[in-house]
Structure 1
Amino acid sequence: MNEAFVCETDQEAGHLHPRVAPPRAQPEALVMWALNAVAPAPAYVDKVQVLTRVDREPPAVSVARIHLDLARAWQMLIRCEAAEALLSAQRIEGQVGPLPGPAAVAVRCEIAAVRAAALMQQDDAGAALAAALSALRLGTATPTAHVALTVCRCAYWRLGDPESYYAVERRAPDGQPGRLRAITTMLDLALDAAIEFGQMHFNAARLLADDALDVARRFGTGPAAIDALPACVMAQVLYEQGRVAESEALVAARLPGIRQGGAIEGAVRGYGLLARIAVNRRQPGQALLLLAEADALGMKRNWPRLRAASLAQQVEMHVAADRLDQAALCAQRLAVLAGQCGAASSSARFEIARYHVLAQARLALAQAHSPVFAQAFPQAPIQVSAAVDVAALRQLHCDTFLRRDRYGAVAIALLLVEALLVAGLRDEAVEALVTLLTEAASVGLQQTLVDCSERVAKLIDGMVRGSVVPAGDVRELFPYAGALMSRRRRGTAHAQPACDTARDIARSVAAMSLSERERAIIGLMGHGLTNKQIAIRLCIAPETVKSHAKHLYTKLSVRNRIEAVTLASRLGLVRLSSCRHAGD
């Protein structure tokens, strides 16, 4: 619906200024031009046309005006401007009163579809589902019913209700679908791909994601970030298959679009995956920058789920580097976020609570093995058992599995194995690990297990070498487990040396605090622009550029422009051009 956007509004004059002039004819001709220009003619057009021919009243023109306003609302949604689309829908709803009965019903149906899509973009699955069902109750044969159906599927997926997801009606796209129809077709395929990936059906997920990307390519569905979800699912499959460079390229190409106007699911998966890849390559500074950017984006867009995902991954990184003070700060912020998540949708609450439980467990395990903790609590296994809520981890693993997110359950299972080990429950830990390896081997899971913690890796290696003997016969797992450990050793040997010294880490953390203006300036410096050229580009005074430059030099602990650009390039803030860097 509304795939052409042909009109601009002059709010002060209250007139329409079409980009393509409407026919200079009678009111009914104007109505038909507006309806056909904006969208395929709905079922109620004939009745509106008859009314306008008989009465020649302004309500007919109101129909055209309302549909042009709806067209703008759909354009806002395509640009992921959910808040603006909701406000627009509210304004349009106040104009429906004078319309004839059938026209009013159809417009209300479309308004409900707009509202459903906007709420889904805001990560409020429960409210989006209610709006989508309202749109379908008003009329399943309307041109925007496919949007409501897609929102229903997305909401059921986010709410962890796979039975309802599969029960939603599926409609085959037309031979030459318009822009909005192509987007919903692409999203339907992407959702199927995400569900298959969650169930660790990697081949099916890759096939569906490829089809979704093909739809996006063929029909030009809009901004680059609009296909971020299928691209990220494809990248996750490639990552698990050990094709890290291809995975990174696929997501990195969409990161600018995700920053500017992408949807939350692409942001959660994209930032998380790129940070994992940076850690895999021994580039913790780059990973921290990505996660800090995700946290800032989540705050800007009011996406607590993205913020929780970022903070939980930061806790994991700081724990791995034995920076427990930093890990504790991130965990504290995550605890505050979890305490405030009552306002979030039920799907977001579950995810935020999951991130909180995992972060707390990781921090507790790390604190149990720190020298200070060991001196304070000589009975370490007993204290760890109390500090790490093993029962909560078990329940979380069960709940995640029931939501058919087997892939998400893997990370919980790995942490549970580690918690059982540290708590002195070695036999249970071995049993849980054997169960996990059996499932992982059956689906071809690789990289997540290669990236496991050192404790879990030693347990796997012990099984392969025979120093750890499980209760049953697991010899068929030895080749797979041995290949995982071999790949882990190769990755460690060939990985880029860790160049992040204590000073580098401090610089990386400081770089997180760069303002948007400072980031823009350092980026233009990287392209060789002088201060005067930067001032012209950003429409600010040269002295303001110098002031910002001094601030970012201080934050990055560098002396001049060359050092700043070099460091920013290494941290991933800019890409160096072939131009020479001009002096200050």
Structure 2
Amino acid sequence: MNEAFAYEIDQEAGHRRPCAAPPRAQSEALAIRGLHVIPPASVYVDEVLSLGRVGRERPAVSGARIHLDLARAWQMLIRLQAAEALLTAQRIEGRVGPLPGPIAVAVRCEIAAVRAAALMLQDDAGAALAAALSALRLDAATPTAHVALTVCRCVYWRLGDPESFYAVERREPGEPGKQPGRLRAITTMFDLALDAAIEFGQMHFNAARLLAGDALDVARRFGVGPAAIDALPACVMAQVLYEEGRVDESEALVAARLPGIRQGGAIEGAVLGYGLLARIAANRRQPGQGLLLLAEADALGIKRNWPRLRAASLAQQVEMHVAADRIDQAALCAQRLAVLAGQCGATSSSARFEIARYHVLAQARLALAHEHFQASAQALSKASAQAFPQAPIQVSATVDLAALRQLHCNTVLRRDRYGAVTIALLLVEALLVAGLRDEAIEALVTLLKQAASVGLHQTLVDCSERVAKLIDGIVRGAIVPAGDVRELLPYAGALMSRRRRGAADAQAGRDSDTSRDTAPDRVQPVAAMCLSERERAIIGLMGRGLTNKQIAIRLCIAPETVKSHAKHLYTKLSVKNRIEAVTLASRLGLVRLSGSGID
């Protein structure tokens, strides 16, 4: 019997019903008619075999083989092998003809669901939506229809269409008290992760934390697949932690998934994971490490044919080069990004929007850097005109204010308030450079009010020097905005204090790199708050390779107590097993990894 059907049917047989199909994106109209309930897969198999017994052996053999191939296709998707799953689906489709009518419809529906999930993994959102809607038109009550529904929700999220996103029916994970099949657990995890991503984009950070935590819990309890399959909820959780200033925990959560992302993760985890780790490196004043991560992301985008990942990487490289005053390197990255943006006509509309957004941001940052360079060059030329009479002054590019304003407006319309913050910060800086100081101050005050109301911190702490000076001027009273901003002063002052403290910590970290290597028992303060003394002792012994029984003997406690502490450890660190726990603990400083093994 088809394994993919088996682990779904034992959860759903006798409990299926027709469902409302998901709405289309704004430019399309979907009408699904004539939905009907199809018998369980086991009925199909029995029917085909009975036909074979009365002289139709070819359909019987063909049907059994098709169901086995479908099971393989689902297993490929669980392992995130999208290209292989697509090829398998294509082969199956060519053998559907001899099957009886109802069975052929069910198989075509499942093929469409496989194709939808595989295309989503390949970042082809338009084709994935078409395949998912095709599956639901064929029959929205098949055992694997929940896959098509999840794909629809993912595409609507990418399109910035929350109305359609929330209108898609949510399927229950299975019978109460009964563990869902692996495929159903995966879609349940993704549904929760997508909910978390939507909430994070709207800057509902507490809701995003809860939903991402639930998604990670599903992944942990049901062992839903390779380590990278839960990268999306892990990255959403890490983003929340980063905004709270819990940088070490944020880094640890993503770093544990990075090997899996490299080997075969989905694009969303790659875009968010590499981007966040590069931000953390920049926050710690480690641009070299950040640029290495972004170069790796660019190479991965080329290898997997993910132009959106490449665009995100190149835009962030421009930002980091500009911050380090490497304008030539920034210009080269911006040029590569411009070429990529010009080649994205064949990509889906959501990918085109994001690539265009990265292009506009990179161009704006480069133009602002040119403005800064020109001002410095002019000051230098006045002071040393006699010494360097032929020294050229670089002509600055013009910041496209209209493009930035339009991008900000479009991002807000897509309900991505978090993404709009980065654009707003660039717009404030561009207005300052353009001489529109009053408008820049007004825009900054509006942004600060919004940020204070939702608890946004780290993105503003990481702002450019121009914007930081403006905030600091408001705090000190040197700049007086038009309205009353007294209620904003404590929040703005805390941002500047955190910024100064972060710069001091980064410098201290660079100064103590050598001494840190001689302190193997050094524990990060955040990790010390996260874990109890007993849990820290157990993770340390795990790092030395001791078994639960050996740890119990060493600590004079029962092995069951060790298991209980280990379970709490996995929950706190959002990991699934001992290896991931030790990896995360090493990132937090609880376990030190040496060249020869784990100390």
> Structure 1 residues 476, 461: closer, same or farther in 2, change over 3 A?
same
1:514-565 deviation digits (Å, cap 9, x = unpaired): xxxxxxxxxxxxxxxxxxxxxxxxxxxxxxxxxxxxxxxxxxxxxxxxxxxx
> Structure 1 residues 229, 174: closer, same or farther in 2, change over 3 A?
same
- For 2:506, the equivalent position in structure 1 comes to 495
Structure 1 residue aligned with 2:429, among 418, 425, 443? 418
Give the SS at the match of 1:80: coil
Tell me, in whole angstroms, the C-alpha distance in 2 between the residues paired with 1:376 and 1:143.
71
- For 2:546, the equivalent position in structure 1 comes to none
Tell me, in whole angstroms, the C-alpha distance in 2 between the residues paired with 1:120 and 1:377.
53
1:399-418 deviation digits (Å, cap 9, x = unpaired): 00111100000000000000
> Structure 1 residues 62, 204: closer, same or farther in 2, change over 3 A?
same
1:197-242 deviation digits (Å, cap 9, x = unpaired): 0000000000000000011011110100000000000000000001
- Which residue type is aligned with residue 59 of structure 2? P
The answer to whether structure 1 residue 225 and structure 2 residue 236 are counterparts is no
- For 1:579, the equivalent position in structure 2 comes to 596
1:450-502 deviation digits (Å, cap 9, x = unpaired): 000000000001111111111111111111000000100111111146969xx
Q: Any conservation in 1 of the 2:4–2:70 contact (CA below 8 Å)?
A: no
Tell me, in whole angstroms, the C-alpha distance in 1 between the residues paired with 2:3 and 2:479.
62
- For 2:337, the equivalent position in structure 1 comes to 334
Tell me, in whole angstroms, the C-alpha distance in 2 between the residues paired with 1:162 and 1:393.
23
- For 1:28, the equivalent position in structure 2 comes to none
> Structure 1 residues 487, 40: closer, same or farther in 2, change over 3 A?
farther
Shift of 1:164: 0.9
The answer to whether structure 1 residue 275 and structure 2 residue 286 are counterparts is no
1:341-379 deviation digits (Å, cap 9, x = unpaired): 11111111000000000000000010112148854999x
> Structure 1 residues 111, 395: closer, same or farther in 2, change over 3 A?
same
- 1:147-166 superposed matches below 5 A: 147-166=147-166
- For 2:315, the equivalent position in structure 1 comes to 312
- Report the count of equivalent residues: 471
Structure 2 residue aligned with 1:461, among 472, 476, 497? 472
The answer to whether structure 1 residue 353 and structure 2 residue 356 are counterparts is yes
Q: Any conservation in 2 of the 1:202–1:443 contact (CA below 8 Å)?
A: yes
Shift of 1:80: 1.5
Shift of 1:48: 2.9
- For 1:101, the equivalent position in structure 2 comes to 101
- Which residue type is aligned with residue 124 of structure 1? D
- Which residue type is aligned with residue 490 of structure 2? P
Tell me, in whole angstroms, the C-alpha distance in 2 between the residues paired with 1:454 and 1:68.
60
- Which residue type is aligned with residue 415 of structure 1? L
- For 2:59, the equivalent position in structure 1 comes to 59
1:405-456 deviation digits (Å, cap 9, x = unpaired): 0000000000000000011000000010011001100000000000000000
Structure 1 residue aligned with 2:410, among 391, 399, 404? 399
Structure 2 residue aligned with 1:476, among 464, 482, 487? 487
Shift of 1:42: 5.4
Of the structure 1 ranges 427-436 and 363-372, higher mean CA displacement relative to structure 2 is found in 363-372
Shift of 1:74: 1.2
- 1:173-322 superposed matches below 5 A: 173-175=173-175, 176-322=179-325
> Structure 1 residues 376, 96: closer, same or farther in 2, change over 3 A?
farther
Q: Any conservation in 2 of the 1:282–1:498 contact (CA below 8 Å)?
A: no
Of the structure 1 ranges 158-167 and 423-432, higher mean CA displacement relative to structure 2 is found in 158-167
Shift of 1:46: 5.2
Structure 2 residue aligned with 1:443, among 429, 451, 454? 454
Tell me, in whole angstroms, the C-alpha distance in 1 between the residues paired with 2:56 and 2:43.
21
Q: Percent identity?
A: 86
Alignment gaps of 5+ in structure 1: 7-38, 501-569
Tell me, in whole angstroms, the C-alpha distance in 2 between the residues paired with 1:117 and 1:376.
57
Tell me, in whole angstroms, the C-alpha distance in 2 between the residues paired with 1:442 and 1:460.
17
- For 1:517, the equivalent position in structure 2 comes to none
> Structure 1 residues 46, 2: closer, same or farther in 2, change over 3 A?
closer
Shift of 1:51: 2.4
> Structure 1 residues 481, 327: closer, same or farther in 2, change over 3 A?
same
Give the SS at the match of 1:370: helix
> Structure 1 residues 423, 3: closer, same or farther in 2, change over 3 A?
farther
- Which residue type is aligned with residue 596 of structure 2? C
Tell me, in whole angstroms, the C-alpha distance in 1 between the residues paired with 2:56 and 2:336.
62
> Structure 1 residues 211, 3: closer, same or farther in 2, change over 3 A?
farther
> Structure 1 residues 376, 40: closer, same or farther in 2, change over 3 A?
farther
> Structure 1 residues 333, 376: closer, same or farther in 2, change over 3 A?
farther
> Structure 1 residues 170, 396: closer, same or farther in 2, change over 3 A?
same
Alignment gaps of 5+ in structure 2: 7-38, 382-394, 512-586
Shift of 1:82: 1.2
Tell me, in whole angstroms, the C-alpha distance in 2 between the residues paired with 1:138 and 1:4.
19
Shift of 1:576: 6.3
Tell me, in whole angstroms, the C-alpha distance in 2 between the residues paired with 1:410 and 1:40.
49
Shift of 1:93: 0.4
Give the SS at the match of 1:218: helix
Q: Any conservation in 1 of the 2:45–2:64 contact (CA below 8 Å)?
A: no
- For 2:11, the equivalent position in structure 1 comes to none
Q: Any conservation in 2 of the 1:3–1:179 contact (CA below 8 Å)?
A: no
- For 2:536, the equivalent position in structure 1 comes to none
Q: Any conservation in 1 of the 2:241–2:247 contact (CA below 8 Å)?
A: yes
Give the SS at the match of 1:173: coil
Tell me, in whole angstroms, the C-alpha distance in 2 between the residues paired with 1:299 and 1:41.
40
Tell me, in whole angstroms, the C-alpha distance in 2 between the residues paired with 1:2 and 1:315.
50
> Structure 1 residues 190, 3: closer, same or farther in 2, change over 3 A?
farther
Under a length normalisation based on structure 1, what TM-score does the superposition of the two structures give? 0.77
- For 2:117, the equivalent position in structure 1 comes to 117
Shift of 1:133: 0.2
Tell me, in whole angstroms, the C-alpha distance in 2 between the residues paired with 1:119 and 1:471.
51
- Which residue type is aligned with residue 594 of structure 2? S
Shift of 1:61: 1.8
Tell me, in whole angstroms, the C-alpha distance in 1 between the residues paired with 2:284 and 2:378.
35
Shift of 1:47: 3.7
Tell me, in whole angstroms, the C-alpha distance in 2 between the residues paired with 1:72 and 1:170.
26
